[in-house]
Homo-oligomer: A and B are copies of this chain.
Amino acid sequence: MRTQVAEHHPDLHAVIEHLVFSGGKRVRPAVTLLTGKMLGADPDRLVILAAAIEMLHTATLVHDDLIDGSMLRRGIPTVNAQWSPAATVLAGDYIFARAAEMAARTNSVALMQSFAETLATIVNGEITQMFSSRGVASREDYYRRIYAKTASLFMLATKAAAMISQCDEQVVETIRKFGYEIGMAYQIVDDILDFTGDQEEVGKPVASDLLSGLVTLPAIYYMESHPDDQDMEAVLRGEYNNNGRMMRLVKAIRSSGAIKQALDEARRYVERGLEHLEHMPAGVERQALVELSSYIVDRQV
């Protein structure tokens, strides 16, 4: 990723260095590399693909943080916290361009097409979310949203890794499903951590989704079991200036069964994913993917 920007504007170089150093869990490139290795992909193309996937993810985060006005990501300042909105738009565009360039270097037209389709899916999901009414919580909408936001890219990671391997259509299809299931689980757990996580470790304010009117799975479960909760109603109406009310609601959700219900849901996704994985070639990579799947639901950050 880092070698991709050497020849361009020094400030761009700086911002990409910043993003690369900012770390993150690198789950998507890990899934890509393990899947490709498991299926016998050419190592050079595989590394480029993994970097392209992480770059695509990074580009969407840069624009997301700008749109949400987020000042912190992974506990460190976002691009928009340091650059003007205009420069942040362009920084994101540039990273998109570089991601596309790397994807093209994998030398597969079909892969490029999936790559572009996934970007369209992610962006369409964000636009849909933006035009949705505040505080509306349908489980169907929720699943559709987290598919677009997260599972689609996990699906791309596994599918694309298989596409550059020597394997048949059936394998591509099966591993793609694995990617979908663990991607859905990943986002559900992210949404749980938004409630339960330590603010320092998660690197953003607690219940940031609810603060912005976004109803995620723990809140949906809570609302189902507490249909008349006054705090929830107030928060969903946008009356979250009353910080005491918000704290009380977060506490109520945390100590309700909603967190466990959501976590159980995530575990079911992972279980389905692992069933698909069983059809893949056994070996250290498959075992690592099993462990990565457990990590997805067990992580604390």
Contact = CB atoms under 8 A, between A and B. Distances in A.
Given A119-B100, A128-B9, A66 B89 contact: yes
A90 B109 contact: no
Contact of A67 (B12, B86, B109): B86
Given A8-B124, A85-B85, A87-B130, 6 more contacts: A8-B120, A86-B130, A97-B116, A100-B116, A101-B113, A109-B112
Main secondary structure of the interface of A (DSSP, over half): helix
A126 interface: yes
A120 B98 contact: yes
Contacts of A103: 112, 116
A104 interface: yes
Interface residues of A, number: 42
28 contacts: A8-B120, A8-B127, A9-B127, A9-B131, A12-B127, A63-B89, A63-B90, A63-B93, A66-B89, A89-B92, A90-B123, A90-B126, A93-B96, A93-B123, A94-B127, A96-B96, A96-B119, A97-B117, A97-B123, A100-B112, A100-B119, A101-B113, A101-B117, A103-B116, A104-B113, A104-B115, A109-B109, A109-B112
A77 B105 CA distance: 38
Contacts of A117: 97, 101
Contacts of A124: 8-9, 12, 94
A119 B98 CA distance: 9
Contacts of A90: 63, 67, 123, 126-127, 130
Contacts of A91: 127
A104 B97 contact: no
A107 interface: yes
A169 interface: no
Contacts of A225: none
